[in-house]
Amino acid sequence: MKASRILHSLPALNTLLKEEKASSVCIVTSSALKNKLGWALKEINSPFTIALLPDGEEAKEWKEIEKLLKKFVHYKLDRNSIVIALGGGTIGDTVGFAASIYLRGIRYIQVPTTLVAQVDSAHGGKTGINFSNYKNQIGSFHVPIATIIETRFIHSLSREQVIDGLGEIIKSGLIKDASILRLLQNETVLSLIKSPRLPHIITKTISVKNYYVSKDFKDSKERQLLNVGHTFGHAIELKYKISHGKAVLIGMLQELAFTESLGLSDASVRVKLSELLMRLGISIDTNMKANWKTILHDKKIKGNKIEFPTIEQEGKSTLITLDLETLKTFL
pLDDT value, residue 231: 94
- What residue type is assigned to position 164 of the chain? D
132-146 mean pLDDT: 91
Instruction: Give percent of the chain with pLDDT exceeding 70.
Output: 99
Band the pLDDT of 133: cuts 50, 70, 90: confident
Q: How far apart are CA 216 and CA 300, in angstroms?
A: 14
Instruction: Give percent of the chain with pLDDT exceeding 90.
Output: 88
Average pLDDT, the chain: 94
Q: 206 with 318, same domain?
A: yes
Domain span at residue 184?
Answer: 164-330
Neighbours of 311 (CB within 10 A): 25
Please report, for the domain that includes residue 68, its CATH number: 3.40.50.1970
Pairing of strands 134-141, 305-313: unpaired
Total count of domains within the chain: 2
pLDDT value, residue 86: 98
pLDDT greater than 90 at residue 14: yes
pLDDT digits (tens, 9 = 90+) for 238-272: 899 998 889 999 999 999 999 999 999 999 999 99
Considering only CA atoms, which of 19, 18, 44 is closest in space to residue 29? 44
Q: How far apart are CA 321 and CA 308, in angstroms?
A: 6
pLDDT value, residue 100: 98
pLDDT greater than 70 at residue 33: yes
Q: 141 with 30, same domain?
A: yes
Q: 193 with 83, same domain?
A: no
pLDDT digits (tens, 9 = 90+) for 73-93: 999 999 999 999 999 999 999
pLDDT digits (tens, 9 = 90+) for 36-61: 999 999 999 999 999 999 998 899 99
Q: 246 with 117, same domain?
A: no
Band the pLDDT of 181: cuts 50, 70, 90: very high
111-128 mean pLDDT: 96
3-state secondary structure the chain: CCCCEEECCCHHHHHHHHHHCCCCEEEEEEHHHHHHCHHHHHCCCCCCEEEEECCHHHHHCHHHHHHHHHHHHHCCCCCCCEEEEEECHHHHHHHHHHHHHHHHCCEEEEEECCHHHHHHHCCCCEEEEEECCEEEEEEEECCCCEEECCHHHHHHCCHHHHHHHHHHHHHHHHHCCCHHHHHCCCCCHHHHCCCCCHHHHHHHHHHHHHHHHHHCCCCCCHHHHHHCCHHHHHHHHHHHCCCHHHHHHHHHHHHHHHHHHCCCCCHHHHHHHHHHHHHHCCCCCCCCCCCHHHHCCCCCEECCEEEEEEEEECCEEEEEEEEHHHHHHHC
Q: 212 with 230, same domain?
A: yes
Rounded alpha-carbon distances, angstroms, from residue 293 to 126, 136, 255: 24, 16, 17
Final residue before a domain boundary, out of 155, 177, 209? 155
Please report, for the domain that includes residue 223, its CATH number: 1.20.1090.10
Q: 262 with 326, same domain?
A: yes
pLDDT value, residue 331: 84
Q: Are 57 and 142 in contact (CB under 8 A)?
A: no
Q: How far apart are CA 36 and CA 174, in angstroms?
A: 34
pLDDT value, residue 298: 87
Q: 149 with 264, same domain?
A: no
pLDDT value, residue 217: 93
Q: 176 with 287, same domain?
A: yes
Helices 244-261 and 159-175 meet at what angle, rounded to 10? 30
pLDDT greater than 80 at residue 104: yes
Q: 136 with 211, same domain?
A: no
pLDDT digits (tens, 9 = 90+) for 291-311: 898 999 888 999 999 999 999
pLDDT value, residue 238: 87
206-210 mean pLDDT: 96
pLDDT greater than 60 at residue 235: yes
Q: 174 with 310, same domain?
A: yes
Instruction: Tell me the backbone φ, ψ of residue 138, rounded to 5 degrees.
Output: -125, 130
pLDDT value, residue 1: 55
Residue 268 pairs in a beta bridge with none
Q: 92 with 179, same domain?
A: no
- The larger pLDDT score, comparing residue 195 to residue 56, is at 195
pLDDT greater than 90 at residue 286: no
Q: 71 with 209, same domain?
A: no
- The larger pLDDT score, comparing residue 298 to residue 273, is at 273
